Chains A and B, each alone.
Chain A
Amino acid sequence: MLTINGKEVEFREGATVLEVARDNGIYIPSLCAHKELFPFGACRLCLVKIEHMRGFPPACTTPAAEGMKVITEDKELHNLRKNVLELILSEHPNSCLMCDQKELCAKYYICPPKSGRVTGCTFCPARDRCELRKVTEYLGLKEIRIPFKYKGLPMEREDPFFDRDYNLCILCGRCVRVCQEVRGIGAIAFTKRGHDTKIGTAFGKSYLDGGCRFCGACVDVCPTGALSARGSKWHGLPEREVTTTCALCSVGCRLKLEAKWEKVMAARPDEEGPANHGQACVKGRFCIPALVNDAERLKYPLIRKEGRLVPAGWEEAAELVAKRLGRYSPKEVGFVASPFLTNEAAYLLQKFARVGMGTNNIDIASAFSGPVIDAHVRCLGVGAGTGTIEDIESADWIIILGADILTSHPVLTVSINKARRQGATVCLIGPENDIILRMVDNLVPVQPSGYLPLLSGILKILVDREAFDKDFVASRCNGFESLKRSLHDMDLEETIAPCGLSVDRVMELASQILKSKRGCILYGSKILESSNPQQVIYLLFNILLLRGSHLGLIPLRIAGNEQGAGDMGALPNFLPGYRDVSDKDAVSELEEAWSAKLPAEPGVSYSEMIRAAGKGALKALYITSGSIPDKTHLSQVDFIVLHGIYPSPLFEIADVVFPSVAFTEEDGTITSLERRVQRLAAVVKPVGMALPDWKIICLIAEKMKVAGFGFTSAEEVFDEICRVNPLISGHGIWSPRPLAKFALTPVEELMWKKSDVVSEEMPLYSLYYRGIDITEKVHDLKLFYERVLGG
């Protein structure tokens, strides 16, 4: 209990006076404090009076204590703050704040200055969001007695994505701190001192050279216009702001998309986002407008006439598709689900394949589908991981296996950093770079070919030392004896030899897993380069199950809704909810729900489909992905339907192309890598005549007179999903019904057998969205990726 301005308030241990005041609705002006950052005490605006304390302590760095008597507002403090603000404004162009005609200014000078330089009038990119302005207005400062000094620093615009005008910088240090503390990158720092102090890089390097990841966190925390996103700096305030989920990768960041003139103009991370907590990455923060407003977006359906694709109406195109698809037998048709489809669209696509075409030939065009999902289902009952992002944050030991997480899932590094600040040990197995090295404690330089030996070695150590959760294994796991037998004859040294580590080093790793109370394993796409990815997953699950409930596993899927598309049953061998197509109960349940007959035979997987197409066994392909790299196989296919939002190489062979919508234009849900079902909300209207994927499927089903596709909104589809899919009951993280018995996998047989599922044909999606390379649409991203990916 402490007293602020005579009012008694509660506080939680460790909070600062500023936080307590804000929690209780008492405003104290401040510019450098930020709730994601440690207290800094730079701006001196939050000075308060505290009884029995000398001078005027800053509220942001003073911890609240029992019985404190704080005064946040009186004449003396007000004058003091005014003086401080005057000093700040003496080096910040301030006529926009001080001019008595400032209201008229906007009316008469409407064109943005071409130089991009702010010298003091209203041409500031932050004018509508300027925190300095809020504080000035609060303090009622009307004039400045100190002569103003313009620093005359050059605009820094050499780097992609954002402009830097350090003439506007007030040196609050938020950008430096967010980069170091939250993102763990440290791409900028205070350089020099005194009057010469400037935020900058070592030796004045460009940000590209200096290791900046262009996540935009610094732009988001900047209280002035010093940092501004180049693409949206002159748009002013948006007409509306819609919170939706980013579909460009699988993390599931919530973003506030700003719309004006029926265009998406900017994206900012949502502080309430359960996965991202106000953080974003280069793709989500800067690339969305350029991507969805692209001039090449498809606007109307196209059908092939006399060898050329020509525009057509929806009716004509849908009727053509219905007529043609009706000609083929179930075995001759294949469906390719894009990992960017919404849950609703993926669900309807598989329903259409199964009910309408009577085939199970449907698969996700993803490197993670097929054997990887099979392995998950076999061990866990569902094709998903067991961990959540919260698990990462509360873990005390994290393994990152085979993922360049800084490039593929940048926002997850925020959670990893958080865990690390709380004392977690982070171990990286696989690809490295200089920046990630600062974020990990333990680097294990093992190539993908060494993952199997390394993990089997660790497993053997765990079993030999009997360092596993015995109760859990005895009561909940099958196959422990055979696992033990298979490890018994294994020679540790011989096993781990191919990974190039010493026995001691592997021992050290294993003992860290032993010690950990709450571990977390993240595995990424590099495991697909190992000799047998399925086996890697079996081994990971073995380790996971042996440690009982102490470990969480998260597959680092790449594309936005890979998880959801699988959950919805867009798989050749699984119905919605990962129930096998041969599962009689599930089939009869679904047959009743859909009032239709389901095909009994399992379908063929994506790569088999492509192979079959090459042999001419597949007559028709329904492709929603657009990311099929090798189209030579497909020239044999009789009839190809394509959903797309941009022109793609598949146009050469497609017979009908339907214009679909980007994720900013549709309602629905997508599921993130932590199994979190989140809403997509339409920010703007679809481009031209484009329709959401689920509507297109409904249209064709209607033309083919297939019952059960009379949906009018995405919510209706979601309601049906909730009824039919045992995993999904609404938004939020779904959890698998725990299996009665988990399966441990013996090591021997699968061990060194090279699998034939290695995915040279599979595109890795970190650069792709709905079949196009994002870097082709966003030039700045190309610059950046060329630098970080080395070409």
Chain B
Amino acid sequence: MQKTIEKIIKSHEGEKGSLIPILQDVQRECGYISEEAVAAIAKDVKISEHEIYGVATFYAQFRFTKPGDHLIKVCVGTACHVRGNSLNLMHIKKILGIDEGEITFDYRFGLETVNCLGACALAPLVTVDDEYYGNFSPIKLKKILSKYAKEKAGAEDEED
């Protein structure tokens, strides 16, 4: 990751007002703004890391913790709500053992709620990454999770 950050900083060398573009690039490449990234940027742009953190936390677009491999979004819009998605959300929280905005300890899943995904016909709706799972119920959860968990394990096997 250190190398990626260095590369990003280098690509902005000499630019004026480059702090936010650098932060955006770092987030795109690394998924989040890490302490190391802030320290490296601070050294380069000669702004203290605290000021950089201050700037970054002002904007909602930046995150400071490592995201999960897969992001689970639970719709809590009106249609999904009346079709019982809040119960689904409760169930997912229990199974994963995390709250909204958190990630599982193995960095596999992150959980977020959204207000409407524009597919109310599929309510109650849960998405994992870009996959839509309509008419969601707790029974489906285990299957879906094991699918992604397997995927991950498979990918790791290939790497080995």
Q: Which A residues form the contact surface with B (CB < 8 A)?
A: 180, 185-193, 200-203, 210-211, 434-435, 437-438
A189 to B64, CA, bound (A): 16
| Minimum Cβ distance to chain B for residue A474 (Å) | 43
Chain B residue at minimum C-beta to C-beta distance from A188: B50
Are A193 and B49 in touch, CB under 8 angstroms?
no
Q: Are A190 and B54 in contact (CB under 8 A)?
A: yes
Q: Is B148 part of the contact surface with A, judged by Cβ < 8 Å?
A: no
Which residues of chain A are near B55, meaning CB under 8 Å? Answer: 189
* Contact of B50 with A210 in the complex, beta carbons under 8 Å: yes
Q: Is the CB of B64 within 8 A of A203?
A: yes
Is B57 a contact partner of A180 (Cβ separation < 8 A)? no
Task: Give CA–CA (A192, B53) in the complex, Å.
Answer: 9
Asked if B53 and A191 sit within 8 Å, CB to CB, the answer is yes
In whole angstroms, how far apart are the Cα atoms of A437 and B49 in the complex?
Answer: 13
Of B43, B46, B52, B58, the contact of A202 (CB 8 Å cutoff): B52
Asked whether B29 is an interface residue with its Cβ less than 8 Å from the other chain, the reply is no
* A193 surroundings in chain B (CB, below 8 A): 57-58
* Chain B residues within 8 Å of A210, by CB: 49-50
Is there an interface contact between A189 and B51, defined as CB atoms closer than 8 Å?
A: yes
**Among B46, B50, B54, contact of A437 (Cβ-Cβ < 8 Å):** B46
Whether A189 contacts B50 by the Cβ 8 Å rule is: yes
B126 in contact (CB, < 8 A): no
- Docked Cα-Cα span, A191 to B52, in Å, equals 9
Q: How far is the CB of A192 from chain B (nearest CB, A)?
A: 5
B43 to chain A, nearest CB (A): 7
B76 to chain A: closest CB distance in Å?
22
Binary interface profile of B, 19-48, with partner A (CB < 8 Å = 1, else 0)? Answer: 000000000000000010010001100111
Number of inter-chain CB pairs below 8 Å: 50
Q: What 8 pairs across the A-B complex have the smallest Cβ distances?
A: A186-B48, A189-B54, A202-B53, A189-B50, A202-B49, A189-B51, A192-B57, A438-B46
Residues of B within 8 A of A (CB): 35, 38, 42-43, 46-55, 57-58, 64
The distance in angstroms between the C-alpha atoms of A434 and B47, with both chains bound, is 11
| Nearest chain B CB to A198 CB, angstrom units | 10
| Chain A residue nearest in CB terms to B52 | A202
CB nearest neighbor in B for A203: B35
Least CB separation from B38: chain A residue: A202
A454 to B38 alpha-carbon distance, docked (Å) = 35
For B49, the chain A residues whose CB sits under 8 A away are 202, 210
Task: Find the residue from B38, B50, B57 having the highest chain A CB count within 10 A.
Answer: B50
Q: Specify the main secondary structure of chain A where it touches its partner.
A: mixed
B135 vs chain A, min Cβ distance (A): 37
* Least CB separation from A207: chain B residue: B50
Nearest neighbor of B48 in chain A, beta-carbon distance: A186
**Is the pair B53, A201 in contact by a Cβ cutoff of 8 Å?**
yes
Residues of A within 8 A of B35 (CB): 202-203
What would 13 A/B residue contacts be, using CB atoms closer than 8 Å?
A180-B51, A186-B48, A186-B50, A186-B51, A187-B50, A189-B50, A189-B53, A189-B55, A190-B54, A191-B53, A192-B58, A202-B35, A437-B46
CB distance from B86 to the nearest CB of A (A): 25
Task: Please give the distance in Å from B14's CB to the nearest CB on chain A.
Answer: 15
Residues of A near B54 (CB, < 8 A) are 189-191, 202
Contact A438/B53 with A202-B35, A203-B64 known, Cβ cut-off 8 Å = no
A193–B51 Cα distance when bound, in Å, is 13
Which residues in A have their C-beta under 8 angstroms from that of B46? 437-438
How near does chain B come to A36, taking the closest CB pair, in angstroms? Answer: 19
- Name the CB-closest residue of B to A194: B58
Inter-chain CA distance A185–B49, complex, in Å, is 10
Cα distance, A202 to B48, chains bound together (Å)? 9
Which of chain B's residues have a CB closer than 8 A to the CB of A189? 48, 50-51, 53-55
Known: A186-B48, A187-B48, A193-B58. A203 touches B43 (CB 8 A): no
Most buried by B among A189, A191, A202, A435: A202
- A202-B35, A202-B53 in contact; A211/B64 too (CB < 8 A)? no
A186: contacting residue among B43, B47, B64, CB under 8 A: B47
* CA distance in complex: A187, B48 (Å): 7
- CB B65 to nearest CB in A, in angstroms, measures 10
Tell me the smallest distance from the CB of B48 to a CB of chain A, in Å. 3
Q: Which residues of B contact A202 (CB under 8 A)?
A: 35, 38, 49-50, 52-54
Residue of B nearest to A434 (CB): B43
- Say whether B43 contacts A201, CB under 8 Å: no
Residue of A whose beta carbon sits closest to that of B59: A193
A188 and B38 CA atoms in complex are apart in Å by 14
Q: A188-B50, A203-B38 are in contact. List 11 more A-B contacts (CB 8 A).
A: A186-B47, A190-B54, A191-B54, A193-B57, A193-B58, A200-B50, A202-B49, A202-B50, A203-B64, A210-B50, A438-B48
Q: Which residues of A have CB within 8 Å of B47? A: 186, 438
List of B residues within 8 angstroms of A187 by Cβ: 48, 50
A438 to B46, CA, bound (A): 5
Residues on B with beta carbons closer than 8 Å to the beta carbon of A191? 53-54, 57
Bound Cα distance from A201 to B39, whole angstroms: 12
Q: Which residues of B contact A211 (CB under 8 A)?
A: 48
In the docked arrangement, what's the CA distance between A202 and B47, Å?
12
Contacts of A434 on B, CB cut-off 8 Å? 42-43
B53 and A185: CB pair below 8 A? no
Bound-state CA distance A192–B58 (Å) is 5
Instruction: Give the shortest distance, in Å, between A332 (CB) and chain B (any CB).
Output: 58
CA distance A438 to B38 in the complex (A): 15
A203 to B53, CA, bound (A): 7
A439's nearest neighbour on chain B, judged by CB, is B46
A185 partner, pick from B38, B48, B52, B58, beta carbons under 8 A: B48
Q: Give every chain A residue within 8 A of B58 (Cβ-Cβ).
A: 190, 192-193
Residues in B with CB closer than 8 Å to A188 are 50
Shortest distance between the CB of B92 and any CB in chain A (Å): 26
| Set of chain B residues within 8 Å of A192, measured between Cβ atoms | 57-58
CB-CB < 8 A to A190: which residues of B? Answer: 54, 58
| Chain A nearest CB, measured from B3 CB (Å) | 21
**B38: A residues at CB distance < 8 A:** 202-203
Which residue of B has the minimal Cβ distance to A189?
B54
Question: In the complex, what residues of B have CB within 8 A of residue A180's CB?
Answer: 48, 51
Which among A190, A210, A211 has the highest number of chain B CB atoms within 10 Å? A190
Neighbouring B residues of A438 by C-beta, 8 Å = 46-48
CA distance A185 to B47 in the complex (A): 9
| Cα distance, A438 to B42, chains bound together (Å) | 9
User: A437 touching B53 by the CB < 8 A rule?
Assistant: no
Q: What residue of chain A has the Cβ atom nearest to residue B46's Cβ?
A: A438
| Cβ–Cβ < 8 Å partners of B64 in chain A | 203
When chains A and B are docked, how far (Å) is the Cα of A437 from the Cα of B46? 8
Least Cβ distance of B62 to chain A in Å? 11
- Give the complex CA separation of A193 and B57 in angstroms: 7
Residues of chain A lying within 8 A (CB to CB) of residue B52: 202
Residue of B nearest to A193 (CB): B58
Rounded to whole angstroms, the CA-CA distance of A44 and B64 in the bound complex is: 33
A337 CB to nearest chain B CB (Å): 42
A435 neighbours in B (Cβ, 8 Å): 48
Interface centre among A185, A186, A200 (most CB of B within 10 A): A186
The CA-CA distance from A366 to B1 in the complex, in Å, is 49
Q: Which residues of A contact B42 (CB under 8 A)?
A: 434
Q: How far, in Å, is A172 (CB) from chain B's closest CB?
A: 15
Q: Are B50 and A201 in contact (CB under 8 A)?
A: yes
